[in-house]
Amino acid sequence: MAALDHRIPPPLVVIIVGAAMKLFAPLTHTVIQTSEWRWWAAGTLIIAGLTVVTLGFVEFRRARTTIDPVDITAASSLVTSGVFRLTRNPMYLGFTLLLIGWAVYLSSPWTVVGPIVFVLFIQRFQIQPEERVMRQKFGDAYVNYVEAVRRWL
């Protein structure tokens, strides 16, 4: 399975998982009937997700390093400022919040599986390979960062 290591861009994984959630949602009944509550909860989660993704993107740009999750070796600096003080993976956390918001909007029991599949896939095929490269590239600075900041939250 190492052939999948950091090969599929995470935004594409979000799109695929989100589309699968939409496809499977009609297979069961809607859980939350009240549309106003559903809209507010889904909207809040989606906005939070977009905010976290954007904050991570801004910090990468500020550090003038790559945001390309497929070419991990192109990273030119270890970013530990801003939102990266709270989570080592703000973009993946933000994408997860987006998918949770989408699941709330779709309001079907099957949609809960989507964010879980995303997290498991990203954990195995994106985060773990990234961590190996970052440890190799930035050594003790990265090890210290890992000890100080959690992977997700």
Q: What is the pLDDT of residues 92-123, one digit of tens each?
A: 999 999 999 999 999 999 899 999 999 999 99
Q: Report DSSP state, residue 127.
A: I
Tell me whether residue 88 is exposed, middle or buried, using C-beta atoms within 10 angstroms of its C-beta: 0 to 12, 13 to 18, 19 or more: buried
CB contact at 8 A, 148 and 136: no
Tell me what the mean pLDDT of segment 75-101 comes to: 97
pLDDT tops 80 at residue 74: yes
| pTM across the whole model | 0.93
pLDDT for 18 beyond 90: yes
Report pLDDT for 1. Answer: 63
Q: Compute CA distances 36 → 105, 107, 108, whole Å.
A: 10, 12, 16
